[in-house]
Amino acid sequence: MDSIVISIGGSVLLSDEADVNFLVNFAKLLVKHSEKYRIFLIVGGGRISRYYIKKGRELNIKEDELDKLGIAITRVNASLITNLLKISNNEIPSNTDDALKLRNKIVVMGGTIPGHSTDFVGAELAKKTHSSKFIIATNVDGIYDKDPNKYSDAKQLKSVSIKDLIKQYGTNWNSAGSNVVVDGPALKMILDAETPTVVINGKKLDQLEKAILNKPINGTIIKI
């Protein structure tokens, strides 16, 4: 069975708009497609992780420890979602090798170690499972030429090459809680594994379904 990896932002699943209805429909969608694909879902930390990281930074806690606070929150978020899905793993694996040992049709996890975001975890799982697709489900309609949350004239990119993204953003990890659409270490992993990757708005479940089914999306295709 073909595998798909989906990295979904905590900012998508725990936003104000993500009411019970949205979460139930999100779960139904994944369960439906798990008939055809083995799904690995990596859940991000969202604003709750950023809150802890901000507080920790004010308290002069060092960067690695701030990353660990973020990781803990991603794992709490992953627990919430796995309880909702019901057919996925009960315990949240702490690394991708442990995730690969699980036999559930849907495997849910959060972050692993300091130094990257959950997008990297997704890219690593996609590499290890030779997944046919890595879907990054974020809170905007794909990758833009500048931050669309800051600039109203930001233009969505229909496609962009991985090399151009690396030229623009680099491959380093910036700092705990850093808010980039795909983090540098994840870009490097996508390039190394040549994983077909798309970025879509996870708040739009029709887009998520289109990405799963390989249909045209209103998002960004990362060209390898």
Q: Which of 4, 9, 33, 197 binds ligand UTP (CB under 6 A)?
A: 9
Q: Which of 194, 129, 133 is nearest to 161 (CA)?
A: 194
> Under rule CB under 6 A, how many of the chain's residues touch ligand UTP?
24
Q: Which of 117, 129, 207, 220 binds ligand UTP (CB under 6 A)?
A: 117
Tokens of 109: 């996890």
Q: Which CB, 8 or 217, lies closer to ligand UTP?
A: 8
Q: Which of 88, 72, 83 is nearest to 23 (CA)?
A: 83
Q: Does 56 bind ligand UTP (CB under 6 A)?
A: no
R_g of the chain, CA atoms, integer Å: 16
Tokens of 212: 């799963």
Q: Does 92 bind ligand UTP (CB under 6 A)?
A: no
Q: Does 49 bind ligand UTP (CB under 6 A)?
A: yes
Burial tier of 46 (Cβ tally within 10 Å: 0-12, 13-18, 19+): buried
Q: Which of 27, 137, 176, 208 binds ligand UTP (CB under 6 A)?
A: 176
Which helix (H) or strand (E) segment holds residue 7: the answer is strand 3-8
Q: Which of 3, 112, 195, 197 binds ligand UTP (CB under 6 A)?
A: 112
Pairing verdict, β 3-8 and 220-223: unpaired
Report the nearest approach of ligand UTP to the CB of residue 68 (Å). 7
Q: Which of 51, 57, 114, 157 binds ligand UTP (CB under 6 A)?
A: 114
Sheet with 133-138, edge to edge strand ranges:
106-109, 38-43, 3-8, 133-138, 197-201, 220-223, 159-161
Report the nearest approach of ligand UTP to the CB of residue 180 (Å). 8
Segment interacting with ligand UTP, rule: CB under 6 A, options 106-114, 124-132, 193-201, 203-211: 106-114
Q: Which of 90, 95, 179, 214 binds ligand UTP (CB under 6 A)?
A: 179
Distance CA 210, CA 65 (A): 38
Q: Does 118 bind ligand UTP (CB under 6 A)?
A: yes
Q: Which of 86, 99, 79, 83 is nearest to 31 (CA)?
A: 86
Report the nearest approach of ligand UTP to the CB of residue 21 (Å). 21
Q: Which CB, 46 or 105, lies closer to ligand UTP?
A: 46
- Binding residues for ligand UTP, rule: CB under 6 A, are 9-11, 44-46, 49, 67, 70-71, 74, 111-118, 121, 176-179
